[in-house]
């Protein structure tokens, strides 16, 4: 006969529940016996985060989106919120100055969509004033105007924001403004009221808002959210990263949290660990880096060392040559963990580094695949974007991975080069310079174009180079160097003997860091202080036919 078990009595169920609850509470207690129950504990890093924000605040009370840039409303509001979350009282001098600046430039109503979403999740901004991105958009085919095949940043953030803006459990429910435990930011609104004309959106957005509300609990909405989550999870790296940059990583975690994923799950904990790797603690405090650039830094340092005369057989360069994450055939990315999104500029730089390190690499399958990939990424106008072809389709599905024999056709390469030079000619500024997309800025863009034109010939190239040379001489600083600030993106006007002065500047500004060699100080843009000066001096010494071999014999000893 089987054993007979008496069912639990009502009293026994209660006592068992109490015992389990107490065990969980004991497990979560801090070492000194107290409890901290508001999610992730910020106390270990709070002081460093506050110190960083305090030191970066401008005299007028604002914060800029980058070094040397003026105050920006969304960045300043986010910094204000962060300080309030870190328990900085609103009546301190730092907060008073920030508040005065925010209200003076138009108040909180002026912030961008991402800031609106952050604030709305804390119940500090009306959901009705957040532009609508229904999760059903993920179901749209690539042929439609709005879809997830636009560009890297757009498609990833769209998938995340479509889920976030559709939630009713996102910190505060849609329609509510203030939740009890959130720091009120009411003081950042202008006196004339919250619901001013700044909240006006297009008719389409208004229609989407009401439509989204109406289908909130429909099977289609549930299915669309499920597809968004699947899309995001599919693109998470084994190391926990998403796309190797912070915005997708942060929004990916928000999605998982909203969809009920345990913070102890591999996906969520891996995402947190990835973000933690981007934290940088230094003398000014601590901040979260937007991204890291090991591939870019490695190839540029390789190019710099080869330009300086270091032989390609050097052990350090041999190691750098084989460093490569497992990526889609042909392309390289910017970061440590980003197998989904290789980019053209990193891949092109890797090709150059390979050929600098060992010219025989030109015949390797890696270089062939990379060149084929770059050729396939060329836009219809002759130029190249970083991640996408013509910004119309998901490039991972469009790259023409042809047979290696296709690269043996020199006509194809020459045609691509001519097409690219035509594009460069079409975008040259009236003063002769070129705009640097991700470098700082016109000097960077112009110098890179020069490297391209050096391998071309013809009268058209000469007509492009001459005005650019005159521009470079014109903008050289009195100390012999060149430089500009990030503000030249918005204000372009800020932006022989000249070469000798430039070389002298690099020699005079090289400093001893206490190790074996000397380098250059560039505190705000880090890596540029290492490899670009090496490239410049190396190429100059080669052009002047200096005896670099005897000089470098003892470099690695």
Residue written as tokens 């961008």? 112
Whole-number Å distance between alpha carbons of 358 and 375: 22
Residue 436: CB atoms within 10 A of its CB come to: 20
d(CA 519, CA 526): 11
CA distances from 128 to 195, 207, 212 (A): 10, 11, 11
Catalytic residue among 241, 307, 345, 346: 345
Over its C-alpha atoms, the chain yields an Rg (Å, rounded) of: 28
Task: Write the burial class of residue 277 (CB in 10 Å: 0-12 exposed, 13-18 middle, 19+ buried).
Answer: middle
Structural tokens at position 250: 């942060």
Quick one: angle between helices 344-357 and 315-322, nearest 10?
150
Q: Taking a C-beta distance cutoff of 8 angstroms, is the pair 275, 250 a contact?
A: yes
C-alpha pair distances (Å), 49 with each of 97, 129, 274, 276, 409 = 19, 30, 18, 13, 56
Compute the distance between CA of residue 63 and CA of residue 75 in angstroms, rounded to an integer.
6
Q: How do beta strands 510-512 and 518-520 pair?
A: antiparallel
Which of 20, 33, 243, 66 has the alpha carbon at shortest distance from 153? 243
Quick check: is 345 catalytic? yes
**226-231, long-range: CB within 8 Å, 24+ apart, which pairs?**
227/135, 227/138, 227/139, 228/135, 228/138, 228/159, 228/160, 228/162, 228/163, 228/255, 229/163, 229/255, 229/256, 229/259, 231/138, 231/148, 231/159
Catalytic residues: 345
């Amino acid at each position: 006969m089987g054993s007979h078990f008496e069912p639990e009595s009502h009293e026994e169920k209660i006592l068992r529940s109490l015992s389990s609850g107490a065990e969980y509470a004991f497990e979560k207690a801090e070492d000194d016996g107290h409890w901290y129950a508001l999610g992730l504990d910020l106390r270990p890093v709070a002081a460093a985060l506050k110190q960083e924000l305090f030191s970066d605040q401008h005299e007028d009370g604002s914060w800029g989106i980058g070094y040397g840039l003026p105050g920006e409303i969304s960045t300043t509001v986010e910094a204000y919120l962060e300080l309030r979350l870190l328990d900085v009282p609103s009546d301190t001098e730092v907060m008073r100055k920030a508040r005065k600046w925010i209200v003076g430039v138009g108040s909180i109503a002026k912030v961008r969509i991402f800031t609106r979403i952050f604030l709305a999740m804390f119940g500090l901004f009306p959901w009705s004033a957040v532009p609508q991105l229904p999760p059903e958009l993920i179901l749209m085919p690539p042929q439609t105007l709005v879809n997830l095949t636009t560009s890297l940043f757009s498609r990833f953030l769209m998938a995340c924001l479509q889920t976030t803006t559709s939630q009713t459990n996102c910190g505060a429910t849609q329609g509510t403004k203030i939740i009890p435990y959130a720091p009120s930011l009411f003081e950042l609104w202008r006196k004339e009221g919250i619901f001013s004309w700044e909240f006006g959106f297009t008719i389409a957005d208004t229609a989407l808002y009401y439509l989204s509300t109406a289908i909130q609990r429909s099977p289609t909405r549930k299915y669309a959210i499920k597809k968004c989550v699947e899309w995001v999870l599919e693109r998470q790296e084994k190391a926990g990263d998403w796309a190797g940059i912070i915005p997708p990583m942060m929004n990916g975690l928000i999605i998982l949290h909203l969809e009920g994923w345990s913070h102890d799950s591999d996906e969520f904990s891996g995402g947190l660990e990835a973000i933690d790797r981007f934290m940088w603690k230094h003398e000014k405090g601590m901040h979260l880096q937007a991204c890291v650039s090991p591939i870019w830094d490695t190839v540029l340092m390789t190019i710099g060392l080869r330009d300086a005369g270091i032989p390609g057989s050097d052990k350090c360069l041999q190691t750098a040559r084989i460093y490569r994450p497992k990526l889609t055939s042909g392309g390289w990315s910017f970061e440590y963990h980003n197998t989904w999104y290789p980019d053209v500029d990193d891949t092109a730089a890797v090709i150059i580094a390979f050929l600098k390190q060992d010219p025989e690499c030109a015949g390797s399958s890696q270089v062939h695949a990379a060149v084929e990939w770059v050729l396939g990424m060329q836009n219809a106008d002759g130029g190249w974007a970083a991640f996408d072809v013509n910004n119309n389709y998901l490039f991972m599905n469009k790259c023409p991975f042809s047979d290696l024999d296709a690269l043996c056709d020199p006509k194809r390469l020459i045609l691509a080069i001519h097409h690219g030079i035509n594009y460069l000619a079409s975008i040259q500024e009236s003063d002769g310079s070129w705009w640097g997309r991700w470098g700082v800025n016109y000097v960077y863009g112009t110098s890179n174009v020069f490297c391209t034109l050096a391998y071309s010939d013809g009268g058209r190239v000469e007509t492009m180079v001459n005005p650019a040379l005159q521009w470079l001489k014109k903008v050289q600083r009195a100390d012999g160097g060149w430089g500009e600030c990030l503000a030249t993106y918005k204000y372009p006007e800020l932006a022989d003997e000249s070469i000798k002065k430039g070389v002298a500047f690099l020699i005079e500004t090289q400093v001893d860091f206490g190790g074996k060699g000397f380098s250059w100080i560039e505190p705000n843009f880090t890596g540029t202080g290492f490899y670009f000066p090496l490239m410049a001096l190396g190429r100059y010494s080669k052009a002047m036919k200096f005896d670099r071999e005897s000089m470098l014999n003892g470099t690695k000893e």
